[in-house]
Amino acid sequence: MEKIHFSDKEYELMLLTLGEVTEKLHSIDDETTKAMVTDLMQHIDVIHREALSRLWALLEKKYPELCEKIKKEDYTVRNLLSLYDLTEFEGVQKPVELPRIIPVEELKIMR
C-alpha cells in the first residue's frame, strides 16, 4: 500500500468534514441506523484513544523535549492528539481558499 501524506490544510478540511458528518448523524430519522453508527464511532474512538494514550504517555516519559516540540510545531499531530484529549484543543478553522492557478496560456507580459 502506497503511503499518503496530506498537507495541514487538507487535514484541516478532513477535520471539518468529520465534524459536519457527525452533526448530520444527529438528524438521522432511523433510530436503528443512528444507534449502529454511533456505536461504531464509539468503538473506533476507544480503540484509537487507548493505543494513542499509551504511545503518547511512553513518548512523553522517554522524550519530553521531543513531545513539546511536536506539540508546538506539528499542526496535524497536535490536532490528532487533541481529538483524544491528549493535548489542549485549539479549535479548527475553515482552511483559507487558495488562489486560482492561472494557466500559462493566459499569462501576458506587461510592459
Tens of pLDDT, residue by residue over 11-39, are 888 888 888 888 888 888 999 999 999 89
The amino acid occupying position 91 is G
Closest to 56 (Cα-Cα) out of 77, 82, 86, 76: 86
Whether 93 has a pLDDT exceeding 70, the answer reads no
Instruction: Give rounded-to-5 percent helix, strand, coil for the chain.
Output: 65, 0, 35
Tally the C-alpha atoms within 13 A of residue 105's C-alpha that lie toward its C-beta. Answer: 0
Whether 97 has a pLDDT exceeding 70, the answer reads no
Q: What is the mean pLDDT of residues 93-101?
A: 56
Closest to 85 (Cα-Cα) out of 59, 48, 38: 48
pLDDT of residue 60: 95
Q: Where are the domains positioned within the chain? A: 40-89
Tally the C-alpha atoms within 13 A of residue 46's C-alpha that lie toward its C-beta. Answer: 6
